[in-house]
Structure 1
């Protein structure tokens, strides 16, 4: 019994020490991995990106009323800081079939002409309207979403400040105004 009195505290101490193989993440590392700002964007039949309410660092101005009577705010800019992580979640609200009304969200590299990009994208139906020969011009993109579908992409905002174009490459949507700027400052 006397030996057991000395062994129990020693065993408890050794069990509490563990193998020392894994180091817990610092609070800063945990915060960095968890800090992803989500922006919920809605693609509507009027070929516009809209949001339900103005959020932090979203530039919205005019209101769009859908054929169903719902009102949304037109999304024209997204402001972000270099290196910030953004999750873009795009939902298409439409009663039309996906072949007639689908939306995606494509972020182009700085300086890429969105009009010439979308001209080539119209020919890329088999690749969800992302031209295979121009993938180096794209920072990130979602898949194509038909009515009631949601797609998303997580992107790290470029380090270089400037205005980056984002757009929908479904035929005719860019020309109709389904576009905006990611303002990195």
Structure 2
């Protein structure tokens, strides 16, 4: 899709990491996970349109290993969001108490599933957390930063 929107394809892996198949402009990577480069940060300009495609690569059933990508507003209590979301299974593990602090998120995806979202990067510069809110994944390190500058 060549509509001028930057597209980032992210893989959620069984070892609870966000990863990419190849390095790209504005992507910070560190180490490897299941043959992919671990994604630690995405750099973007204020107001830029971003398209995120999340793919879950897993050998486990969805009840044991699913992933989403949730971008939180600047200043959100990320620990609190993750804790509250653990009990929000019926809402895709996105806590309704924090819904107003979620800028964008994919669906919760089991093995072989894909979801694509498009959103406008916030206008305020800063480091915004993105996490997987499936139980245990944030604590396990499935987190990164959207760096707006």
Q: TM-score per shorter chain, which class?
A: over 0.9
- 2:45 is equivalent to residue 81 of structure 1: yes
Report which of the two has the higher share of helix. Answer: 1
* 1:15-164 aligned within 5 A: 34-64=3-33, 66=34, 71-164=35-128
Question: Are 1:170 and 2:134 matched, yes or no?
Answer: yes
Q: Could you give the per-residue CA deviations for residues 34-74 of structure 1, whole angstroms, max 9, x where no partner exists?
A: 3211100000000000001101110012122x2xxxx1100
CA distance in 1, matches of 2:148, 2:10: 19
Structure 1 residue ranges without an equivalent (≥5)? 1-32
Instruction: Specify the structure having the higher radius of gyration (Cα).
Output: 1
For 2:76 and 2:147, locate their aligned partners in 1 and report how far apart those are by CA, in whole Å. 15
Query: 1:126 is paired with a residue of what secondary structure?
Result: helix
Q: Taking structure 2 as the reference length, what is the TM-score of the superposition?
A: 0.97
Greater RCO, CA 8 A, separation 6+: 2
5+ residue gaps, structure 2, are none
Residue by residue, what CA displacement relative to the aligned partner does 1:128-163 show, whole Å, maximum 9, x if unpaired? 100112110110000011000001111100000000
SS at match of 1:34: coil
**Which stretches of structure 1, 4 residues or more, deviate above 6 A after TM superposition?**
none
Q: Report the count of equivalent residues.
A: 148
Considering only aligned residues, what root-mean-square deviation do their CA atoms show, in Å?
Answer: 1.0
Which string of whole-angstrom CA distances, capped at 9 and with x for unpartnered residues, describes residues 113-141 of structure 1?
21110000001000010011211011000
Question: Secondary structure at 1:89's aligned position in 2?
Answer: strand
